[in-house]
């Protein structure tokens, strides 16, 4: 056995372990499926550089995010595995869509933060999280087709859909798309930090800014970690992903008449200057009944800063016990 290779492999495994605080399940486990993200990829790169004595490009981690791939051994990428069947159907599955440029992994804590009767299923968009190596989509319809492929279980079990900000518009359009494909209606659509569809298209475009202007706009919006904005190599990889979301949002046109055949719940931040009550109240025109609207403490990113309050109110809207109760 090649002892030099084994030493390199052990160094990679150690860097992985120190970054994710867990051992890789195998040399072919995907770093992002194991819990990694773009920021942790930078941490892994730093540890690999120290351990191996040379710099591992982020592009390699992006394209080959396994122990084997980092070592330069590249087996064919396996197709995305279908979700394992649950032992029994949940009372309700809540599909969650992230805000622009974010990974759906932001909803992982909700799996224990919401009652066990609600099965939280984050819907990852191409180009981020475990799907980081995939090309992001810049058109709404292909993205909706992609997301619907991950929701086949919703044809047979009760479900609801949640989205924050840009994710709120995606959630609304996804419900419409699912209904056109013959899915049953969801129990409820829940949106947060999101103006009603006819008010959601930004007055000024973002997708067509120069990289420098785009980065500054992201800094102003405060939804992108500073660690990412301050890392030129990571930003070069990540800007096309965030720009793809803004391309969809900046070109979005709300349907003229599109009430859903399900109720709608809307949450807005008390200090949110862009998505306050004045622009969220009109969501009442888009549901099967007047929307239920709730104020949450915080600004546009209250889903991070007031998570407990949000989850407690969401549980009530979903007809589930409050978090922490059986």
> Domain segments of the chain: what residues?
3-70, 92-317
Question: What letter would DSSP give residue 106?
Answer: G
pLDDT at residue number 58: 77
For Cα atoms 127, 133, 134, give the angle at the middle one, nearest 5 degrees: 55
Question: What letter would DSSP give residue 123?
Answer: -
Burial class (CB in 10 A: 0-12, 13-18, 19+), 71: middle
Q: Across the strands, what pairs with 265?
A: 190, 292
pLDDT at residue number 85: 43
pLDDT tens-digit map of 21-45? 889 889 888 887 787 776 778 788 8
Give me the sign of the Cα torsion angle 316, 179, 97, 64.
Answer: positive
pLDDT tens-digit map of 96-129? 999 988 889 889 889 999 998 999 999 999 988 7
User: Do 35 and 56 contact (CB within 8 A), yes or no?
Assistant: no
pLDDT at residue number 161: 98
Task: Report d(CA 147, CA 151) in Å as an integer.
Answer: 7
> Which residues form the catalytic set?
165
Q: Give the CATH architecture of domain 92-317.
A: 3-Layer(aba) Sandwich (3.40)
Q: The pTM is what?
A: 0.79
Query: Cβ contacts of residue 27 below 8 Å, gap of 6+?
Result: 9, 66, 67, 68
Query: Cβ contacts of residue 42 below 8 Å, gap of 6+?
Result: 58, 227, 231, 234
Segments in the chain below pLDDT 50: 76-88, 326
> Is the domain defined by 3-70 classed in CATH 2.40.30.10?
no
């Amino acid at each position: 056995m090649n002892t030099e290779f084994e030493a390199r492999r052990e160094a990679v495994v150690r860097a992985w372990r120190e970054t994710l605080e867990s051992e890789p399940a195998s040399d072919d486990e995907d770093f992002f499926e194991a819990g990694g993200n773009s920021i942790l990829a930078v941490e892994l790169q730093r540890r690999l550089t120290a351990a191996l004595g040379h710099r591992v490009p982020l592009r390699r981690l992006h394209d080959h995010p396994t122990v084997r791939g980092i070592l330069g051994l590249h087996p064919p990428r396996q197709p995305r595995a279908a979700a394992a069947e649950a032992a029994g159907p949940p009372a309700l599955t809540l599909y969650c869509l992230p805000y622009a440029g974010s990974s759906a992994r932001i909803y992982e804590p909700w799996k224990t933060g919401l009652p066990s009767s609600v099965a939280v299923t984050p819907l990852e968009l191409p180009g981020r999280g475990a799907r980081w190596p995939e090309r992001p989509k810049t058109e709404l319809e292909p993205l909706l087709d992609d997301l619907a492929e991950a929701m086949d279980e919703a044809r047979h079990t009760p479900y609801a859909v949640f989205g924050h900000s840009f994710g709120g518009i995606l959630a609304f359009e996804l419900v419409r798309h699912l209904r056109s494909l013959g899915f049953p209606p969801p129990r409820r659509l829940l949106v947060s930090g999101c103006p009603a569809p006819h008010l959601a298209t930004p007055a000024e475009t973002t997708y067509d800014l120069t990289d420098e202007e785009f980065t500054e706009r992201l800094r102003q919006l405060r939804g992108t970690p500073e660690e990412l904005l301050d890392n030129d190599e990571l930003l070069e990889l990540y800007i096309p992903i965030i720009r793809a979301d803004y391309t969809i949002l900046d070109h979005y046109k709300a349907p003229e008449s599109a009430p859903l055949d399900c109720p709608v719940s809307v949450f807005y931040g008390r200090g949110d200057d862009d998505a306050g009550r004045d622009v969220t109240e009109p969501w009442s025109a888009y549901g099967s009944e007047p929307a239920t609207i709730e104020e949450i403490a915080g600004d546009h990113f209250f889903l991070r800063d007031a998570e407990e309050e949000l989850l407690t109110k969401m549980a009530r809207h979903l007809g589930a016990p409050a978090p922490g109760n059986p």
